[in-house]
Amino acid sequence: MTTPNEVSVLFVCLGNICRSPLAEGVFIHLLEGDGRLLDVRVDSAGTGAWHVGNAPDPRSREVAERNGIRLPSRARQVRSEDFHDFDLIVAMDRSNLHDLASLQRKHGGKARLALMRDFDPEPGDGEVPDPYYGGPSGFDRVFEMVLRSARGLLDELGG
């Protein structure tokens, strides 16, 4: 459960093996290096269940490791409690956001829903694109978007 000063953030994509574990790992890494010592609980999940229990995709692990970041998470699916347990649920693309909004209508909960790139200071189409069926360069692009957006989110939470 969330303690009084804690903020909780859940990153969500489709499979929870490419984008959202990367966002989780990058955000934890930024928090660890941040002097403000914010109390943030961080997790990630997928709207789909195909990869439940799996480690992140090797291509996400590779780009993370190249940048000094470990990705410790195992894939899990979004569950009804997430909408009650998390303050903020951050979707990677509009399809994820749409699926989350449908789930929240069904399950209720106070969580604020947002798009990851709402926090990206650089202009774009608002989405972190699904890199799963593409080549390794897609993962580099995703990493850069996720890093910029995670910095923006941290600044928003840190005030």
List residues with catalytic annotation: 13, 19, 130
Establish if 25 lies at the interface with ligand 4NP (CB under 6 A): no
At 24 the three-state DSSP class reads helix
Q: Which is nearer to ligand 4NP, 2 or 67 (CB)?
A: 67
Q: Rounded to whole angstroms, how far apart are CA atoms 100 and 49?
A: 14
Does 130 bind ligand 4NP (CB under 6 A)? Our answer is yes
Cβ-contact 66, 19 below 8 angstroms: no
Q: Does 146 bind ligand 4NP (CB under 6 A)?
A: no
Under DSSP, is residue 70 helix (H, G, I), strand (E, B) or coil? coil
Scan residues 4-23 and list those touching ligand 4NP (CB under 6 A). Answer: 13-19
Contact 83, 74 (CB under 8 A): no
Q: How far is the CB of 4 from ligand 4NP (least distance, A)?
A: 33
Question: Which of 2, 6, 49, 50 forms a contact with ligand 4NP (CB under 6 A)?
Answer: 50
